[in-house]
Chains A and B, each alone.
Chain A
Amino acid sequence: KAGVTQTPRYLIKTRGQQVTLSCSPISGHRSVSWYQQTPGQGLQFLFEYFSETQRNKGNFPGRFSGRQFSNSRSEMNVSTLELGDSALYLCASSTSGTGTNTEAFFGQGTRLTVV
């Protein structure tokens, strides 16, 4: 059974550009969450999608957005990149519908560097 796949693994972008990251969850998983990991702030929740609907959102500016497709694949987009957006972006998938007692499985992440 394939795990969570994130593409690309590495990205280098310039300030002001925009970027799109992709996440393919484990087959059968309908929930996809995104996290930002930085040395200073640790792991912070960005948003969660379930059945193409955003179910929960973290405290990030509107430059950060996402969506989920009918096949559960998800993308996140960051517009007008800032140096502080440099981070490891992790995607997690889980089976859960309304319950919260299931574990999330993570991809290897996309390391974004903004120069």
Chain B
Amino acid sequence: AQKVTQAQTEISVVEKEDVTLDCVYETRDTTYYLFWYKQPPSGELVFLIRRNSFDEQNEISGRYSWNFQKSTSSFNFTITASQVVDSAVYFCALRAHAGNNRKLIWGLGTSLAVNP
């Protein structure tokens, strides 16, 4: 069975702090895809990153960085020098590679509050 766990329900930080959002996944597939999405109060899920299971390179995009470790089944997301605009719910998701099993399996999300 596939599962995504985001153990942190809520995180509150002060602006300019660094914050890491944890994501642990379970899957029996050897090929799979991991995603992070951001959901601001408006409700729309905004795509942040996709990572293939065969590519363990970490990625940095501006203030955002992602650490993918297959050995620990984790795909953690770090925001450096957080800003108030980063306040949102962040979701980690998993998708199998197998043809018909295309649905996204979601974590329950981490609500991030960045305070001025």
Contact = CB atoms under 8 A, between A and B. Distances in A.
Interface string A82-115: 0000001010100010101111111111010000
- For B35, B93, B101, B104, the residue with the greatest tally of chain A CB atoms inside 10 Å of its CB is B104
Given A100-B96, A104-B104, A109 B109 contact: no
Interface in B20-35: 33, 35
A58 interface: yes
A61 interface: no
A101 to B, nearest CB: 6
Given A42-B106, A48-B102, A100 B33 contact: yes
A19 interface: no
Q: On chain A, which size bracket covers the interface? A: 20 to 34
Nearest to B98: A100
A78 interface: no
A101 B51 CA distance: 9
B43 interface: yes
A33 interface: yes
Interface in B31-66: 33, 35, 37, 42-47, 50, 52
B106 A56 contact: no
A92 B37 CA distance: 12
Contacts of B91: 43
A64 interface: no
Contacts of A107: 44
Contact of B107 (A42, A44, A98): A42
Given A33-B103, A56-B101, A101-B33, A42 B108 contact: yes
Can you list the 7 inter-chain pairs with the closest CB atoms, starting with the nearest? Answer: A45-B103, A106-B45, A43-B106, A108-B44, A42-B108, A109-B43, A103-B47
